[in-house]
Amino acid sequence: MLYLLRHATKHVLFALVAGLLLRLWFIHYYPVVDGDSLVYGEIARNWFWHGIYGFTRANGIHPTLIRLPGYPLFLAVCFFFFGIDHFGVVLLLQAGLDLCSCLLLAGFAARTLSRGAGVATLYLAALCPFTANYVASPLTETPTLFCIALGLYSLLRYVEKPAYNVWFWALVCSISYGALLRPDGALLGLVLVPAMFWYARPQVSAVRSARMALVCTLLTLAPFVPWTVRNARTMHVFQPLAPRYANDPSEYIPRGWIRWVKTWAGDYASTAEFYWNVNGSPLDMRLLPIRAFDTPAEQAVTAKLIAAYNRTEVMTPALSEQFSTLAKQRIRRHPLRFYVVLPVMRLADMWLRPRTEQLWIELRWWEYQHHPAETIFSWSYGALNLFYLLLAAWGLKKRVPFTPVIVAYVVVRCLLLLTLETPESRYTLECYPMIFILAGAALTVRTRDKTATSGPPVSANLS
C-alpha cells in the first residue's frame, strides 16, 4: 500500500475520492435501514445497555442466538460513541472501511504483480457499485469484505516473513472476526489457514509452519468458546455458530414447506415472493413459475395447500407436512432436477442476476411493459456485473500469485451456496475481493516492479 501511495499518489487519491463520492451518493439516495439492520440494532442495544443478547418483547427482553455477535458488537461500539440508533454514522464508517478494503486489495496486487495491477485493482474496487451499494445498509457485507481483503493482504505479508509479527496477528483477527460476523465467514479460515502452512514452507521448516498455522487456528477459534458456552447455558443447545434457518431453539421451522420450495425455487424472485412471506403474508399462486408443478393434478393440490395457508397466513406443522409429501413426490419424479439442475440454476442466479437488490428497482425488473426504464437499467447493471466476471476469468491466465487460494475460496463458497434454497446475489458478493484482484491483473501486463515490496519477493511459483 505504501508503495502505491509513494509511486502512484495521483491515481490513489483520485480513485479514493471518486470511490468516496460514489459511496456518499448511495448513502444519500439509497439508504436501506430495515429488516436485518433493525434486528442487529436491537440486539446491540439490549446487549450493551441491558446485558442481554436478545430482543425486546412485551414481557421483557428475551435472549437469542439467531445472529452471531460480530456485527452487533460493531453497532454497539458505534452507538456508544455516536448515539443510539445513529445509523447514519454507521454508514459513513462503513464507507471508510470499504475504501480501506480497496487499498488492501490494491496493495496485494501491487506487491504480487505490478504497480499497474495495483492501480487497476484500486479503480475496479473503488468504483464498483455492487460493493459500494452495501455501504448504505447496516449489514455484515461491508465488514466481511474488509476481513477478506485484510486476510489476503496479511497472508501475503506473513508469507514474506513467517513469524509472530503484526501480519500474523492481523491474519488471526481477520479470520476470527470474519467468522464472528456470519456463519459462512468461517470459509475464510478454511482457505487461509492451510495456505499459511503451505506457502510459508520455503521460509521456515514444515514443522514450524504447521505449528504457526495451528496457533492461528486456536486463536481464531477462541472467541467462539464463550459464545458456545453462553448458548449452552442460556439457550440449552450446542450452537458454536448460528442456526441455518436463523431460529431460536423454541421456534418452529416448517421444514416440509422449505423442502417443497427447494423443488422449484431457482431465482431471487422466488425467495422474495414466497419464501420470505411465510409466515404473516399471503401467497399468490399466480406468481409460481411453471416448474412448480409437473401435472394438472399436482397444480390443483398446490393451489389447495396455498389456499389453506392463506386462510390463516400461518404455516402450521400439519400443513408443512402436506407440503413435505408433495416435495417427496416431486423429488422422486425428477431427482436430477432437484439435486443438480435447480442448485446450479440458483447458483447462476446469485452470480449473474443484476445486483439491484439494494436499489429501489422492481423485483420483476425484466417485465419491460410495466417499467421500461428499470428494465433497461437492470440489464445494464447485469452487463457490468458480467464484465467484472469476464475480466476476472481472463485474469486467471495471468498466473497471479496465490491463485490457488483465490480460486479455493470461490469454489468452497460456491459449494456452500449450492445447498441453499434461497438465492440472493449478496451471497456471492464476498467473492468480489478475488474478482477485483484477478480483473486488475487482466488489465495490466505481467511485469512485476522490483521495488514493489520491501521484503522478500513473492515469486511466480506461488501461482
Domain of 225? 2-237+432-452
Per the structure, the count of domains in the chain is 1
In a domain, 264, yes or no: no
Interval 407-412 mean pLDDT: 97
Q: What is the pLDDT of residues 289-328, one digit of tens each?
A: 999 999 999 999 999 999 999 999 999 999 999 999 999 9
In a domain, 305, yes or no: no
Q: What share of the chain is helix, strand, coil (3-state, %, to 5)?
A: 70, 0, 30
- Looking at residue 398, what is its pLDDT? 84
Lowest mean pLDDT among 6-10, 16-20, 224-228, 233-237: 6-10
Interval 361-381 mean pLDDT: 92
Task: Indicate if the alpha-carbon torsion angle 140, 141, 146, 152 is positive or negative.
Answer: positive
In a domain, 102, yes or no: yes
Q: What is the pLDDT of residues 141-170, one digit of tens each?
A: 999 999 999 999 999 999 999 999 999 999
Confidence of residue 9 (pLDDT cuts 50, 70, 90): confident
- Looking at residue 431, what is its pLDDT? 97
Cell matching residue 294? 409437473
In a domain, 253, yes or no: no
CA separation for the pair 70, 43 (Å, rounded): 11
- Looking at residue 51, what is its pLDDT? 93
In a domain, 347, yes or no: no
pLDDT above 50: residue 52: yes
Q: Which residues contact 210 (CB under 8 A, 6 or more apart)?
A: 197
In a domain, 88, yes or no: yes
Contact between 70 and 143 (Cβ < 8 Å): yes
In a domain, 327, yes or no: no
Element (H, E) at 54: strand 54-57
At residue 15, the 3 state secondary structure works out as helix
The predicted model scores a pTM of 0.93
- Looking at residue 2, what is its pLDDT? 61
In a domain, 152, yes or no: yes
